[in-house]
Amino acid sequence: FNPKKYFLINLKDLEIFDNDTVVTRELLLKKRLIKKNTSDIKILANGTFAKKLTVQASKFSNKAQELIQQAGGNVEILKVA
């Protein structure tokens, strides 16, 4: 059994995006927050966060999901590759 490996991104790293942005894998790649061969992304709640974003990722920590929704944003869980 091999545990799934995720590329970890903190909420504070998503503060660069404007409100109402849909944060996709492609956008994270364009902003160089992930590497080209990254497939599975997990969002963690480290740092302050106050942006209204729709965030797409394979997995979210409970706290990250809560903070995104409190800021008026949405989470979209993608299928794990």
Q: Given this model, what pLDDT does residue 2 score? A: 65
* Amino acid, res. 27: L
- 5 vs 9, more confident: 9
Domain containing residue 61: CATH number: 3.100.10.10
72 in any annotated domain: yes
Cβ partners under 8 Å of residue 16, min gap 6:
31
45 in any annotated domain: yes
Q: Given this model, what pLDDT does residue 12 score? A: 97
Confidence at 39, pLDDT banded by 50, 70, 90: confident
73 in any annotated domain: yes
Distances (CA, A) of 38 to 9, 26, 57: 12, 10, 11
68 in any annotated domain: yes
63 in any annotated domain: yes
Domain carrying residue 71 = 7-77
2 in any annotated domain: no
Number of structural domains (the chain) is: 1
Q: Given this model, what pLDDT does residue 8 score? A: 96
CA 76 – CA 37 distance, rounded (Å):
21
CA 30 – CA 50 distance, rounded (Å):
22
